[in-house]
Amino acid sequence: MLSEWAANAPIAMLGQHVYDLRRYAAIAMDVGDQDGLRVDAAELNRLLNANGIQTSFEIYPGDHVNHVADRFQNHVLPFFNAHLEFH
C-alpha cells in the first residue's frame, strides 16, 4: 500500500505530466508551516519551477486542516477569480 501511495505522489508523476502542466494558465499551492506535507509541497513547487512551470506558492502559519475556511475564502476563490476564464 505504501508503494502505491509513493507511486501516485505528485512528485513521482511530475515527469509524466510536465507538458500538460505547462498548458495551465496558473497553478497555486499552499501548505501550512506545521503540515507534514510542507517539505514535499516545497519540493514539488521547486521542481515545477525548474521545469518552466510558474506557480504561486505560499507557506502559511498552521497545519493541514486549520485555516481551511480562511484559505478558501481569502486565497483560493480570489485566485480562481483572477485566473479562470469562462467561455
Question: pLDDT tens digits for 3-30?
Answer: 888 888 899 999 999 999 999 999 999 9
Residues pairing with 62 in the sheet: none
Q: Tens digits of per-residue pLDDT, 31-80? A: 999 999 999 999 999 999 999 999 999 999 999 999 999 999 999 999 99
Q: Which residue range forms the structural domain that includes residue 8?
A: 2-83
Specify the pLDDT at position 56: 96
Q: What gap in Å lies between CA 52 and CA 22, rounded to an integer?
A: 7
Which DSSP letter does residue 69 get? H
Number of domains forming the structure of the chain? 1
